Structure 1
Amino acid sequence: MSKAFLAPGEIAEATIAIGVKKANHSTINMIILGILAGLYIGFGGHADITIMQTFSQIDVGVSKFLGGAVFPIGLILVIVAGAELFTGNCLMTMALVDKKISIKQMLKNWGLVYLGNFIGSIILAAALVFTGVYKPGSPMAETAFSIATGKMTASVAQIIVKGIFANILVCLAVWMSFGAQDITSKAVAIWFPVMTFVMLGFEHSIANMFFLPLAKYIGFEVSWAQMWLHNIIPATIGNIIGGAIIIPLLYYVVYIKPQRETSIKSNINA
């Protein structure tokens, strides 16, 4: 009888194996799958705005909750349909510290996937504006402006800290999805952490690659340099701290390191 889910130690081993697989994707596959992930996260962002523009005048808390409730479709598509998302790939550091991949392999994956995510995000943002969904002065456009204003008025330090919390939750969602053994369980595992980070207003670098260009395309006054230097790069730094250091390395110490040390001792005694 197959298991319904993996134990944390088994998830750690699975995360390492998946990290190795990701590191060995071809360059073109990393870019293609990165573009798809950018599109998927953008779909979640667009759904978030669609819900929020309806309920924001009724109750802010309800609006944030409902917006957060639909945003997880992006990560569900990434995990279940298959794509490469930079923030989730931060977990590759577990394979790195286990000496299964090189830092060059990891950074190549991060760089190409990050680029692909950006391309996919801005393609979707531009396409949505072209279709007339975000007409100037409409509730959709005003909601997009409101989101962008919040992201650009926070301090760099605040964005970094919010980025840390965002990718702790995103990587926990990815972590739990690795432990789930069926699509329904994966969707549920992803939904709660992602909904929480969106509802709480944390900063996700890839989501911001959609939200900020979208607002710019419909008239929000922000330069590309301001967008990157004040928000996306600080959010990326926070995401790396939360998703590449805190979650994978602490779990490595707890679940993998003792096993490796025991294995070494057994080989020596043998």
Structure 2
Amino acid sequence: MNNFFSPAEICENMVNGCNNKAKLPISKMLVLGIFAGVFIGFGAYGFTVITSGAGTGFEATFAKYIGAGVFPVGLMLVVICGAELFTGNNLMTLSLFKKEITVGAMLRNWGVVWMANLIGSVLLAWLMSQSGLYGEAMTAKAIGIAEAKCAIPLMPVIIRAIFCNMLVCLAVWMQSGAKDIIGKIFAIWFPIMLFVLSGFEHSVANMFFIPMGIFCGADVTWAQAFLNNILPVTLGNIIGGAVIIPACYHFTYAKKSAA
């Protein structure tokens, strides 16, 4: 007996899960969305801790590798403990393509969860800024991350966001194929580690990284945070996670072929 599902079975599992997400009451979306923002923020904080003391060259690369290996704990918490993450929920288009949910139900989920993710991420960032955990090196790292993210030109930031959510949604897809916790952990770990190591852009992670930098004194305004990064990254994440991955897998595993 296999301890994993086939790709066609994964597709069916994902559709059922997305159908359930569309039915969630707004109150539960808010609570679980705030939790997801906090969970992803925990992973981002861990990444900052590990990379803040690194120098240059190989040392910096190795620290980024270790930090990228810690970051996936955020999505592990979201998937295994239960939370609502905007980028993962982009896969709800699978159910839309099968006409099992409406556009309105999907957009309702996306809108509420995106705002809840933002609330959780910014709240965690503010609390961390008041915690005394950000010493000189951590503060400098937080400022550097925020300023660098807001300086990325529009087209590159959208491209990086597309690739990011392709990997995030593939991680969510793969963990749905595992029948045990260990399988889910490994399915999540490697794609998420890869996107962080590659320098791709994740809207919810940036909802923590950039506000954290602002609270630490970064030369970034809130308008720049949203217009230069968070909103275009959200768009790129939707292209990667709500269009490319679901469209391909719906065509290959969910759509019935003509006789």
**TM, length-normalised to structure 1:** 0.93
* Cα distance in 1, alignment partners of residues 51 and 241 from structure 2: 27
In structure 2, give the amino acid aligned to 1:65: Y
Partners in 2 of 1:54 and 1:60 — Cα distance? 9
Identical amino acids, percent of aligned pairs: 47
Shift of 1:153: 1.3
Q: Which residue of 2 aligns with 1:21?
A: 20
Match of 2:153 among 155, 160, 165: 155
Q: How does 1:65-144 map to 2 (within 5 A)?
A: 65-135=65-135, 138-144=136-142
**For 1:26 and 1:177, how far apart are their aligned partners in 2?**
25
Alignment check: 8 A CA contact 2:161 2:237 kept:
yes
Aligned residues: 258
1:168, 1:30 → 2: CA distance?
23
1:35-61 deviations in whole A, cap 9, x for unaligned? 000000000000000000133446221
Letter in 2 for 1:240: I
Secondary structure of the residue aligned to 1:54 is: coil
Task: Output the aligned Cα RMSD.
Answer: 1.1
Task: Find runs of 4+ consecutive structure 1 residues off by over 2 angstroms.
Answer: 54-58
Map of 1:179-198 to 2, 5 A cutoff? 179-198=177-196
CA distance in 1, matches of 2:5, 2:145: 37
Question: 1:172 aligned to 2:174?
Answer: no
1:125-180 CA-partner distances (Å, limit 9, x unpaired): 00011011124xx1101111221122111101111000000000000000001111
- SS of structure 1 residue aligned to 2:176: helix
Partner AA of 1:242 in structure 2:
G
1:239 aligns with 2:237: yes
Residue 220 of structure 2 corresponds to 222
Q: Quick check: 2:78–2:85 contact (8 Å CA) kept in 1?
A: yes
Q: 2:175 is paired with a residue of what secondary structure?
A: helix
- Mark the runs of 5 or more structure 2 residues left unpaired by the alignment: none
1:62 equivalent in alignment to 2:62: yes
